[in-house]
Structure 1
Amino acid sequence: MLARNVLWYVVFVGFGINYMHRIHINIILVGMIKNMRSGNGSLPISECTTQHSVFENQTAGIKIQTDGFDWDERQQNYILGSFFWLHWLTQIPGGMLARHFGTKKVFGLSNFLSCLITFCIPTAAFTDFRLLVFLRVLQGFITGVAWPSMHHLTANWIPPNERSKFVSSYLGSSVGVALTYPLCGYVIDMLDWKAAFYTTGFIGVIWYICWLWFVFDTPALHPRISAKEREYIQNEIGQVLTKRELPVPWKDVLLSRPLWMVAISQWGGIWGFYTLMIQTPTYFRNVLGWDIKKTGILSGIPHLSRWLFSFGSAIVADCLLKKKILSRTNVRKLATSSCTLVQGFMILGLALSGCNGTLATLFMIAAVGVTGAVSSGPLACVVDLSPNFASVLLGLVGLMANLPGFMSPLVVGYLTYQNQTSVQWQKVFFVTTGILFVTGILYVIFGEANVQPWNDGSKSLKGKKKVYKCEKEMTLMSLVVDSAEKNDKVSS
């Protein structure tokens, strides 16, 4: 098997682990909260459980949790959103660390340390609510370096026309979500919520051992790659990837319109995606009234569809590029439109589905699924703009794109505080739809995916080139003077 194919699988699972520890608490929190009884001692039932649904007896089997934590909606959303409070701070450092120390160390240690923190969460929860929040903040801060660091590996390993397919491995994150929700749901149902944390932590440690064995920062460092594959990769990426480490042209990067368009589109797309990813278990449980196992399964299915859509759209995108049916810019615009505009329409449908469990599930699956095109759109576009500074650019994009991680839970907490109704959740989905439409339209109008002039460091090296040119001219003048002096001596 080709070394870069093995790399795809290990990276794929790595992103699954990354998201497993990012979102496991979204479903586990449902099992941690005490079910508050009403005045007559009965369990409050959501408005939707009294209406007709194709999911018969959807409240049957719901366990009344008499022990647990009495955290209200605002406290719960602090826990859900705290992961992202400092997550954005390490986006740019993640890219720069990868350039100096390599993706193998940065991405690997980021995931591994996150796993170790997961083992500590149950103890923190029993100790103090604030300690739990602190651990989630720390976890988010550490894992913030993971995503931008991976683009450095992609730039060093993957030929330009194979990037869409390889970047689809990033969507292992979606498979991680798809498996984590039902896994945690079943573990909580069979054992307890503490066991769910320990299970996900153990899985992450096993992955880290495989990562250390199979992954290397460049083809040249890989001890088991074939000479033919190494030569092919080096020839393909050598056209746009500079071997020497260049200084980052910060001014050009920060004033780059194409990069800002990627960041804006990612901000909108991630707002929609995070809103659905973080809040789905709560929405299914509190509004539609489903038990923990069904909540876990139906919360995970949309993310499986996201990965499938990502893989399919990546194949289509690479085909369009290889056959030159569409320009690289138009391929990226097509994919980004799916992440924003199409997702917006699906969430609008979710908002209007009300208590219809069938429609809510279908629109949820579709809304999350179409975001899979992010691997062929914004994520691939970052490498297109500048292979040499891809990790740094992804850090900048991630800095902006991860803001919805803590902003969205605050909005949801404000709109649904002590009011878990379909009408209030409809407002959440309307806000999300508006954000997706605006950001998607901006990218379609102003976005592009061409290699930028500053990718080769020409502007940052401009001063050095001038100095070299002056030194060269002075040398030539010196030679002319010496030659003239010699001629005068000979003549005399």
Structure 2
Amino acid sequence: MKQVKEGKITAELLEGFLKNKICVEPAPKIGYRHLQVFLYFLLCFIGFGFRVILSVAIVAMTDPNTNPNPNIPTYPEWHDKNVILSAFFWGYMLPQVFAGWAARRFGAKWFLVTTFAVNSVAGFLTPMAAAQFGSKGVMLIRVAQGLTQGFMYPSVTHLMSQWVPVEERSRLSTIVYAAGSAGTIVAMFVSGLISASPYGWPMVFYLYGGLGIIWCVLMALLGHDSPSIHPSISKAEQFYIERSLMHNMDKGNHPTPWKAILTSSKVWALLLAMIGNNYTWWTLLTQIPSYMNSVMHFDIKNNSLLSSLPYLTLWILSFGVGFSSDYIINKGLLERTISRKVFNSFGMYLPAIALVILGYTRSDEPIRGVALLIAAVSTNAFHFAGFSPNSMDLSPNHAGAIMGLGGLSQFTGVIAPLVVQAVVTDPTNPVHWRYVFFISAGLCVITATIFNIFGTAKVQAWNNEEEKQDAEKSESSL
């Protein structure tokens, strides 16, 4: 037990624990793992806020009629709004794979603190960039924010693979991944409210810039890369986490098995599900304000409130999804792979059905339109217990790297607004929007079906490829 007191939890001790040779006190139900998850929640909450605020604020930035303060500048000459909205993703895709690899090799904490601080300062500079350099200046700011936020999800996924026990994976990962929805709700509402106030749209960017800096301070003080280096965690909680995960026990900096990952049909099933889901997500996220304004004829205040309702519903639903999934799996009601596919089917087929019906909704049916938007977005919550935690299922050791590859699916954030710009030549014509919704629905159905056929939640053999290689080297040296 000396090793336990010193915090040196070895593989042998874990094996002894599993054989009931070692007894320790139960882990706390609420512990430092939950504090870490809360920090990740706040990061995604604020990070998604940065992504969304421009989708709402750009209405006030380009339409003088929505601005009650004549001293706030507007730019009606900007005719490249969808290009501006897509610029975030030009930078977002670039660091994804590197971020997942770097998080595992060097630790994710300081990558996140540094990159999010840059992201927050860029938010502060958005009004100045718009005034001095026009739409091109805002595009540059968005590229920089995308580049820095590209570290967010791969790093957070790696950190959760260190902190979140398997038994709590669905509900705690849902809390983190659904934070984007919560951030979307608040950002849409606050952006519309502030943009329509005498403070004007610049205050939205100052507000989020400040929130981002506050998060960086909290993470610097309270965040840690793993339980083994946390200065205050109880030995019982550390033991519980590492016993559950059974990985990263003094592994060192072994190489990531890229060939095995890139040739795995299970990984590709996950990546395709991400592509289909993300295309739909970014289409709706960037275009709901414009759709509500152009087709449903809501003013900016009502627009921001109604645009946030689908994400509020999704966020509320996500809690039930995460806890239900863990309960079903832990009680043995469904095998983990089957559970992932069932929840993923609900999370991608139901939005597709809602979008098809929405495509036939007329401009004089605003209640039906809003209800279908709510259905399309909120039922997507089921994917939080579907493909979202699947990178940790497939490979706890390399979850960050897989999520980094999945981050390349964010190229859909570039494509989606450009497809809308090409298809919707008349923003007031519901038929043009019908094609947009049909494209999204079709991608959801195709990619969800591929995941259902080829996906799995079983840990893959290459997860422990490095241990296998080490064992082979040891045997050959005898």
The two structures have a TM-score, normalised by structure 1, of 0.86
- For 2:436, the aligned partner's letter is V
Distance 2:121 2:289 in 1: 25
Partner of 1:398: 407
Moved more, 77-86 or 420-429: 420-429
Partner of 1:17: 46
- For 2:237, the aligned partner's letter is E
- Contact 2:341/2:386 (CA < 8 Å) preserved in 1? yes
Alignment of 1:184-333 (within 5 A): 184-190=191-197, 191-238=199-246, 240-245=247-252, 246-333=254-341
Give the drift of 1:466. Answer: 4.5
Counterpart of 1:244 in 2: which secondary structure?
coil
Counterpart of 1:379 in 2: which secondary structure?
coil
- Contact 1:329/1:448 (CA < 8 Å) preserved in 2? yes
Give the drift of 1:465. Answer: 4.5
- Contact 2:67/2:195 (CA < 8 Å) preserved in 1? no
- Contact 2:127/2:202 (CA < 8 Å) preserved in 1? yes
2:170 aligned with 1:160? no
Q: Pick one of 129, 132, 144 that aligns with 2:138.
A: 132
Partner of 1:375: 384
Partner of 1:437: 445
Q: 1:62 to 1:141 in 2, by over 3 A?
A: closer
Partner of 1:119: 124
- Contact 1:269/1:340 (CA < 8 Å) preserved in 2? yes
Distance 1:347 1:316 in 2: 26
Partner of 2:181: 174
Distance 1:350 1:378 in 2: 25
Instruction: Figure out how many residues of one structure are paired with residues of the other and give that number.
Output: 443
Q: 1:423 to 1:147 in 2, by over 3 A?
A: same
What 5-or-longer segments of structure 1 have no aligned partner?
Answer: 37-60, 473-492
Q: 1:419 to 1:22 in 2, by over 3 A?
A: closer
Counterpart of 2:94 in 1: which secondary structure?
helix
2:417 aligned with 1:388? no
Q: 1:376 to 1:419 in 2, by over 3 A?
A: closer
Alignment of 1:394-433 (within 5 A): 394-399=403-408, 401-433=409-441
Distance 1:63 1:286 in 2: 20
Distance 1:62 1:155 in 2: 46
- Contact 1:242/1:456 (CA < 8 Å) preserved in 2? no
Q: 1:219 to 1:419 in 2, by over 3 A?
A: closer
Distance 2:108 2:181 in 1: 21
Q: Deviations over 1:218-262 (max 9, x none)?
A: 112222222221221122212x44430331111100000011000
Q: Name which one, 1 or 2, has greater alpha-carbon Rg.
A: 1
Give the drift of 1:434. Answer: 1.1
Q: Pick one of 118, 143, 167 that aligns with 2:149.
A: 143
Distance 1:332 1:122 in 2: 43
Q: 1:5 to 1:467 in 2, by over 3 A?
A: closer
Distance 1:366 1:278 in 2: 17
Distance 1:146 1:62 in 2: 34
Moved more, 412-421 or 294-303: 412-421
Q: Pick one of 470, 479, 482 that aligns with 2:476.
A: 470
Counterpart of 2:95 in 1: which secondary structure?
helix
- For 1:125, the aligned partner's letter is A
